[in-house]
Amino acid sequence: MTCLYPGSFDPITNGHLDVIKRALKIFDKVVVAIAQSEHKNPCFSLEKRKDLALLATQNLQNVEIITFTNLLVDLAKELEIKTVIRGLRAVSDFEYELQIGYANNALWSEFETVYLMPNLKNAFISSSIVRSIAAHGGDVSSLVPKEILPFLKEQTCM
């Protein structure tokens, strides 16, 4: 069985990788679906975010990286994937994700959401925290895959 793991991944973090690895213990394949997310004013272009995710997951089996610009439910129907994985770091994430899960299920009753928590050492990591620390010259080497560190240093929005 295959699952979708959607998000903006701006940039992909160790927390994201942790959720992907946990999902691979449950599912045969994880499709990481990178959303355009223009409303979030992403730091990296959609293609660059895909490239970074490919670099970060290159040693993981059964992970596919794609991009999408449509509704997640429409993408899931198109790919014939009925399960989405969502990462939860805090109670505030759960409240938001629960609403999204209900909305997705209302749009397609066969679409299920599975919530996974990263391990405790990755629980506080978010892409926005990584961008903020990097923008102020802080060390993010323990927060992101080592493969993408050089790209963070050259990015002007950080």
Q: 16, 49, 50, 131: which one is catalytic?
A: 16
Task: Tell whether residue 126 is among the known ligand binding residues.
Answer: yes
Active site residue 40: yes
* Residue 80 assigned ligand-binding role: no
132 marked as part of a ligand binding site: no
89 is annotated as an active-site residue: yes
Q: For the chain, how big is the Rg over CA atoms in Å?
A: 15
- Rounded (5°) CA angle 15-157-121: 15
Q: Which of 137, 140, 95, 143 is nearest to 123 (CA)?
A: 143
Sheet containing 29-35: order of strands: 63-68, 29-35, 2-7, 83-87, 112-116
Give the active site residue among 22, 49, 127, 131: 127
Q: Is 49 a catalytic residue?
A: no
Per the CB < 8 A criterion, the answer to whether 49 and 74 are in contact is: no
Whether residue 124 is annotated as binding a ligand: the answer is yes
| 22 in a known ligand binding site | no
Binding positions for ATP: 8-9, 16, 87-89, 97, 122-128
Residues with a known catalytic role: 16, 40, 89, 127
Annotated binding site: 8-9, 16, 40, 72, 86-89, 97, 122-128
